[in-house]
Structure 1
């Protein structure tokens, strides 16, 4: 089923290294993941990069600005977005993954999908990480497929179905709830042989503004210290709506929050605005 026959070894979670197709990536220094949306309907950059030439140009721009990981998203997951099948996603991706790999061989490519079939396609094209917003809940084959690829898997906290992913739930204790979810899901993944797991608390998905701000202040308590944390707050409504601003006008506020989560141990920042995030990361590293 898979063309890549490498056998990868599990990383030691205490060192926060991940094995990306045989390439050991250390996360002791936090990384910036640049968002490359291929969708016509993403909320802040829809339609800008949904052809090969513009997507390649944007990939180059993100890398030149300081991104080390490119997160390719063929399907928008904003509220009321168009729903695509796995076949639709694969058609939308086309040759882009292999083209980026050819042009920028040092770039790490993450594929943002909740479909096992899209992961299989992406794996054969050369992706380095799986970014599944569903935590394996929207496709029952996802965890098994992740195990077969031996790629690092980004596990996000989210509501249990596609239709309810954005339903706001007020949790009694959001940090406790997210950790319960992570505990259950990481156990399943490890038992199946997924050895490199990255945790994403799921900012922007089915959580109140208050709960999301609570998570920002309690990042250090998420994930038990066993797995590296990815934080994706770029252009999220819990930041801009209370301020009465647009997604494109909250850079200063976003960078303050990025610094706060870095200080609490976040290892990957998933962002649209790489230049600003890089400045924040540089500032953080100088302070250490």
Structure 2
């Protein structure tokens, strides 16, 4: 297992603001959806979205990940126009009220990205790896923003189909390799890798991914880990998504020790404690 003090340093250029990832960062989740599995409908109006953003930032998040569309199994499918309508002025309002906040936009539509870019987003979080919109990589290059590349099945309809891979780590790295080359050729400079926990993978494969985080990606690119409230943790325990904080923080510590640079979470304060503990190791 790699020593966290000697692991490769990474930084991101977010609209000219350089983010040093030597100390891992927290991405707090802001769902604008009425149908997300654990907090659906809580923050899908401007006032509550701003209040929740304030709490996420106070608790220690530096990146706010805005999700206008739920990608849980059997979620309602929205068009880009509907996503944009749901976002409304929330991005510009957050930028105005919390200028220090970095905003990541969770969408697989390049049209939504263009809208978000004009409103002031700092990162693109595309769960589809450019597979659900052919123009996504070009749009990412045009904006010059950091791009989060996630491993996922090749179509929206098969997103959650569980595939048992011969070697999940090798499969993810093969996928990353091809997509990274494509992104670099298009001119995308900052790439963040997300192995895609919770998307079409068996519980066994996801536990193997946790054990092998240090082998995911190619050390040249920072790793984002999003395991917050995921079913591969709570289902085997017979618990609810809101009831697995202790187990989640143990797994967070495990991935941090293997070089994870960004944790995407609902419970920011708890993740913050874990990172503080990790930094003192």
Please give the residue correspondences for 1:176-255 in structure 2 after superposition, counting only pairs within 5 Å: 176-255=170-249
State how far apart, in whole Å, the 2-side matches of 1:226 and 1:164 are: 30
Paired residue for 1:138, among 124, 128, 132?
132
Aligned to 1:3: none
Structure 1 length normalisation: TM-score?
0.95
Paired residue for 2:52, among 48, 52, 58?
58
Aligned to 1:264: 258
- What's the offset of the Cα at 1:36? 0.2
Structure 2 length normalisation: TM-score?
0.97
Structure 1 regions of 5+ residues with no counterpart? 1-13
Q: Deviations over 1:12-33 (max 9, x none)?
A: xx53111001111111110000
- What's the offset of the Cα at 1:130? 0.1
Q: Check if 1:285 corresponds to 2:274.
A: no
Q: Deviations over 1:23-56 (max 9, x none)?
A: 1111111000000000000000000000000000
- What's the offset of the Cα at 1:127? 0.2
Please give the residue correspondences for 1:18-167 in structure 2 after superposition, counting only pairs within 5 Å: 18-167=12-161
Structure 2 regions of 5+ residues with no counterpart? 1-7
**Structure 1 stretches of 4+ moved >6 Å:** none
Aligned partner of residue 225 in structure 1, secondary structure: coil
Number of paired residues? Answer: 275
- What's the offset of the Cα at 1:226? 1.2
State how far apart, in whole Å, the 2-side matches of 1:42 and 1:15 are: 34
State how far apart, in whole Å, the 1-side matches of 2:203 and 2:18 are: 37
State how far apart, in whole Å, the 2-side matches of 1:19 and 1:279 are: 26
